[in-house]
Amino acid sequence: MRPPTLRQILRFPKALQKNMNTSFTQQQNSSKKIVIVAAIVGFVLCLFAGLGILYLFGQIFQEPKTKVIFEPDQSRISTVTRGELEETAHILTHRWNFLGYPRVSFDVSYNGEIVGHLPDDIGIQFINRTKEIGLVEFVDFGYTPVAIGTIVNTDFEYDYLPQVDDEKWHTIITNGEMDTTGVSKADNGNYVVNFILTEKGKNILADYTNQNYNSYLGILIDKVVISAPRVSAPILDGRGVINGAFSEESARFLAADLRYPPLPIPLK
């Protein structure tokens, strides 16, 4: 008898061959499906990435277009240093970024002007608010209610701001004691300004509110009263909320003024 050949040794039963062919076909189909799914996922990711890049470029090229030039108000100031101009431009840039315009910036020109490139849809009132000195004071009014909109005299001296010939009120804290600020909506739908004080400011306000229950705590911007709530409880954690008849825009401006220092020079 002849010995079996290699072909005969490796010959599989027909049923086993059929199963192997079917398994191989299924594997091919599964691989095709995986490739198709991967291609679809890759296409979607590329599409979203492309749209994101287009949006970014659109924002960059469309937002800052209008040139606005500020200069020192010579009617209120005689000399200005380069350092004061640089600091002013720096504060203005931070204010605008805080207000939701991350690509707006201000620079000092060679002839001492402060130049900003702003969005086209910004109104003149918005720009005028930007150049305010922005000194925020928390003032002890004692048990005297002072009307909103009143210009008052305080013991915190700051150049270029008006001081009326009137009773002098004591300033408890200013922008310098602010750590973080923000804007939110209260349960009644009104906009409010939230703030967190530095450790120093926290201790000062805690001492004041602990000893002056039911007195009026005036909140001023550039010596003008914008709010005067009563102290109803000690504020011990350095966190507070400023309520008022704020629009979203005015609330954001107040939060920006609180968050950053006042301008070192007056502008026009």
Residue 52: per-residue pLDDT: 57
The tokens for 219 are 């909140």
Q: How confident is the model at residue 165 (pLDDT cuts 50, 70, 90)?
A: confident
Q: Residue ranges per domain, the chain?
A: 22-55, 62-129, 132-259
The confidence score (pLDDT) of residue 120 equals 79
The yes-or-no verdict on residue 53 having pLDDT over 90 is: no
| pLDDT bracket for residue 140 (50, 70, 90) | very high
pLDDT at 21: 55
- Domain 62-129 fold is Alpha-Beta Plaits (3.30.70)
Q: Would you identify the CATH topology of the domain 132-259?
A: Gyrase A; domain 2 (3.30.1360)
Q: Does 30 or 113 have the greater pLDDT score?
A: 113
pLDDT at 158 over 50: yes
- Residue 28 identity: Q
- Local confidence band at 177 (pLDDT 50, 70, 90 cut-offs): very high
63 has a pLDDT exceeding 90: no
Quote the CA–CA distance of 245 and 262 in Å, as a whole number: 23
pLDDT over threshold 60, residue 20: no
Contacts of range 95-98, beta carbons closer than 8 Å, 24 or more positions apart: 95/130, 95/134, 95/256, 95/257, 95/260, 96/130, 98/252, 98/255, 98/256, 98/259, 98/260
pLDDT computed for residue 108 by the predictor = 94
Name the least confident of 23-37, 115-129, 145-159, 239-253: 23-37
Characterize the bridge pairing of strands 216-221 and 224-227.
antiparallel
**DSSP state letter for 263:** P
pTM over 0.85: no
Percent of the chain residues topping a pLDDT of 90:
46
pLDDT score, position 38: 61
